[in-house]
Structure 1
Amino acid sequence: MTRAFGWDLGGANVKLARIDGGRVVHVAQIPCPIIPERRKFDDAVGAALPLISSPALHAVTITGELSDVFNDRAEGVAYLVELMQRVAEAQTLRVYAGSSGFLKPEDAKSRTLEVASANWHATAALVARRHVDGLLVDVGTTTTDLIPIKAGAVAARGATDAERLTEGELLYTGVVRTPVMAVAHSAPFKRRVQRIAAERFATMADVWRLTGDLKDDADPYPAADQRGKSVEESAARLARMLGRDASEGELGEWVALARYFADCQLAEIDHAARGLAERDALPPAAPVVGAGCGRFVAKALAERLGRQYLDFAEIIDAVPEAREMAARCVPAVAVALLAATGE
């Protein structure tokens, strides 16, 4: 089938990619409503329905099973698979299950551990078919995936989230939703180092906005204080992390503080990446393949590691207008390409 839709059903957003004849022609990201109800997924998928057409193959990967609207992952997987069954109706529907490949919906519902949060594997599997060696670094809104590619195969040792957290292949740090208090406990300001508040007064979206790296449309979520997203408003939230008002410093001082927090986050990712490169003896020529809305972090990481940087957008065939979103929403693109082309 030449037309395929790739779905990545996450707890924070739903990503949808359309593939025609092996080429990415459209990619969209729809935020999930921030409500403690399961219908948040129905609402997000419903918002994506005008973008699909039939006949088509629907390939799905799931991470939203971790949402606290479900009692456990099995319940979440079953709910989301059944949701996609209603969407696909009589069309072909396949659910990605990591190293087991694609499953029929009924089989997917009984194989929770393979299906749950397997989106990273889809991206890595696609990259491995196109590059013999590399380190895939997918920096998203909430998490960072670090996946070694060795000899044309996915070299990750973890499969479940717990295993990947243990192996250092999954870091719960992203460029949008991560609270600033998760990347540092203290910070320098006005020639002193002080403790910071253990409160969600600001997120890394505020940090990366102040450094000028985060694109405006990469943060579709409400700010921590429900206010605007100007540089000044981000600075005010960052000041609150120090127990201060923005008026207590010049804008340049708040930008410098943001750069400090940005360096803290990059250092955490750098430490994990070096450990994996050493563990798997990745050759010096193996590039860092950057993906996600925080690809600028992956690019900076490549520079620190002394490795070539390769953007995910460069390894796929996509129409120009879809290239940026394709590189942000890589699991949706990957499952569509894997299912449609048999890669």
Structure 2
Amino acid sequence: MSLPRIAVDAMGGDEGVQTMISGAALARRRHDKFKFLLVGDETRIKAALDAHPNLRGASEILHAEDVVSGDEKPTAALRRARKTSMGLAVDAVKRGQAGAAVSAGNTGALMAMSKLALRTMPGIDRPALAALLPSLGDNDVIMLDLGANTECDARNLIQFAIMGAAYSRIVTGRDAPRVRLLNIGTEETKGTDELQQAAQRLRAATGLAMSFDGYIEADKINRGTCDVVVTDGFSGNIALKAIEGAARFVTDLLRTAFTSSLRSKVGFLVSRPATELLKHHLDPNNHNGAVFLGLNGVIVKSHGSANAAGVANAVDVAARLLEDDLTKRIAADLSELGEIRVRGRARARAEGESA
């Protein structure tokens, strides 16, 4: 059975068409069974494809006359969706012309277009933005929501946990990913009512394909002690930017230290293998590709400043989610949650009758 195509918004991102096409070509080498739909200015895409015959032979071009700017308001972008490369890439998923879309463009506009075109899956109230973050463990950690929903109730957080666990099973291969709720402490009495209610319900839902054990604090996110960190979009976005800022701070601090004197430069040469490993872990291109979970289709957001390797990783995320049918996994887990609720209500009625 042939795999669905991946639509790539070739005009999104800070680095231009060449970078988006180069990244798609790199991803094509890893996933040679996939075909691509390249959306954007046809003339510029064709010119970029000259250097990538492997991608050219596996692609179709969909011309778009307009582009969503980085500072454009989502409402304005929605009005022009049918003319923009981003809007047409998302529409290709809606129409079944592609199984997934990848864009490095305006995040707010991409979310708005995706929600309007694809709608949320049955059983999901709101989609969430999830991303892979580096950790000291064997696998990256998935964190959601990272900005799609500033305020969330317990029901939203439970749905995020289910979606994040389904995504994690694809990434980590774990049958029961370790899921935690982001909180200001690990004690059961800490946090908002929404957090405490979500934790209580997740502890009771023993049939879900996850291992839930309460809360995690922000300084433990990258320690490798859990696979999925669940939070509202407001807290998640702040935590993500704090982590990214700390990574840049460490990188800049090391660069300054190693160039401050001749002795430091010699020290750099001696410690270069270790610093290269650190650089690899802190490079956002190596963890690029955030996913809008909970929609009737796969939408992947690439960093606007991603290089070709980063774009390739974002396309790689889309390919893996299509290969492992993420939406089917989420639907199955939501169905299991529904059965758990039914069994819980039946047990409560039985206990009430026997009392």
TM-score (norm 1): 0.33
Q: Give the strand-richer structure, 1 or 2.
A: 1
TM-score (norm 2): 0.32
Q: Give the helix-richer structure, 1 or 2.
A: 2
